[in-house]
Amino acid sequence: MQKRVLVIEDEPNISEALRFILSRNGWRVEVSADGKAALGSLSADPPDLLILDLMLPGVNGFDILRQVRAYDDTRTLPVLMLTARGQAADRIEAERLGVTRFMTKPFANADVLATVHEMVQT
């Protein structure tokens, strides 16, 4: 069965790049630029993996991650956080909140693919 990934990313070029590389590698990709709207679908029908931008309008990635980890249905959901901000403080906060992996932008397509496959096989 095809694995499903939800990408919460407000930058269209990045979300389309992720959609392209992941769908070419057998993933069913859903994209949302709106973190608040995505939270509703996350709890109703959790994907196999979440790729989450840190800086989003309205609600940031930390807030989404905090809520993802608060619900039983998504507590163990693998989450890859992507950010243009690579400061140690951001990484530490993401880890404190339960992120599975943290990756800075720009990223190499091969690195994203390897990380995603590793995350869903562990």
58-104 pLDDT tens trace: 899 999 999 999 999 999 999 999 998 778 999 999 999 999 999 99
pLDDT score at 50: 98
> N- to C-terminal Cα distance for the chain?
17
- 79 within 8 A of 6, measured Cβ to Cβ: no
pLDDT score at 11: 95
pLDDT score at 87: 86
Secondary structure (3-state) at 52: strand
Tens of pLDDT, residues 4-56: 999 999 999 999 999 999 999 999 999 999 888 888 888 888 999 999 999 99
The Cα–Cα gap between 9 and 33 comes to: 5
The Cα–Cα gap between 122 and 116 comes to: 10
pLDDT at 122 > cutoff 70: no
**Alpha helix segments (H runs only) across the chain:** 12-23, 35-44, 61-70, 88-97, 109-121
Secondary structure (3-state) at 103: strand
Q: Tell me which long-range contacts 106-109 makes (C-beta under 8 A, separation of at least 24).
A: 107/82, 109/17, 109/21
**What are the domain boundaries of the chain?**
4-121
Class of CATH domain 4-121: alpha beta
pLDDT at 1 > cutoff 80: no
pLDDT score at 21: 96
Tens of pLDDT, residues 103-114: 999 999 999 999
Residue with tokens 């959790």: 46
Q: Is the dihedral of CA 68, 73, 74, 76 positive or negative?
A: positive
